[in-house]
Amino acid sequence: MKRVIHRNLSTLVTVLTVLCTALPSYAEEIIRDRSLIMTMPIEGVTLSMTPKHAFEHLVASGFSAENIDRFEDWTTPGISFRKEGAMKPSGYPKWYIEIALGREDGRLIHVSETSQKLDRTNYDLATEINHVRSHFGIAEDEPECSYSERGGICSVIDTKNANNVVYAFQVKPTTKSTQLIINSK
């Protein structure tokens, strides 16, 4: 299980690196200060928190972490948390949220969320995207933060360390799923 988590975290970091290097040249229009990336919350967790504080916050918020209840038992670089709603008759949850944390040298370096809200009514993609725009001060006409009826995406990179600090957000209204990734080294 620990190897799978570490491998999944490594895969996410690789995807983030590709995202950063694959951004088109006009992405420079939405490069933002590192402090905004460090304070962007995902389920109340930000990169400015200590790993212990982030762990304890998620547990207190009802997330479970792979048979680990105490921060002191977290021995790997990465860990995954999950929270889900009531089960449908088919045996699948009506919604779920997965949070991955990564740490290095006593710092939180990665937070990501993958969620699917299958029974969510009044799903508002514009609200999801506008929350990100508001936090980063992104204008509506900037092409790297946009949405349509088919989905939305927003990517932000840091002015001083563009290859290592990124916030990426993607929404797919057809499956009512959201993915958010924050990475910093």
pLDDT tens across the length of the chain (185 residues): 444 444 444 444 333 333 333 333 333 445 567 777 788 888 899 889 999 999 999 999 999 998 898 999 999 999 999 998 777 777 777 778 899 999 999 999 999 888 876 555 556 667 777 887 888 788 777 777 777 766 777 777 776 666 655 677 777 766 667 777 777 66
Q: What is the pLDDT of residue 120?
A: 54
CA–CA gap between residue 171 and residue 151 (Å, rounded): 5
Contact between residue 6 and residue 71 where contact means Cβ atoms under 8 Å apart = no
**CB neighbour list of residue 27: distance below 8 Å, 6 or more residues apart:** 144, 155, 157
pTM to 2 decimal places: 0.71
pLDDT at 79: 95
**pLDDT at res. 122:** 56
**Cβ(83)–Cβ(96) below 8 Å:** yes
pLDDT on residue 91: 74
Tell me phi and psi for residue 72, to 5 degrees: -60, -20
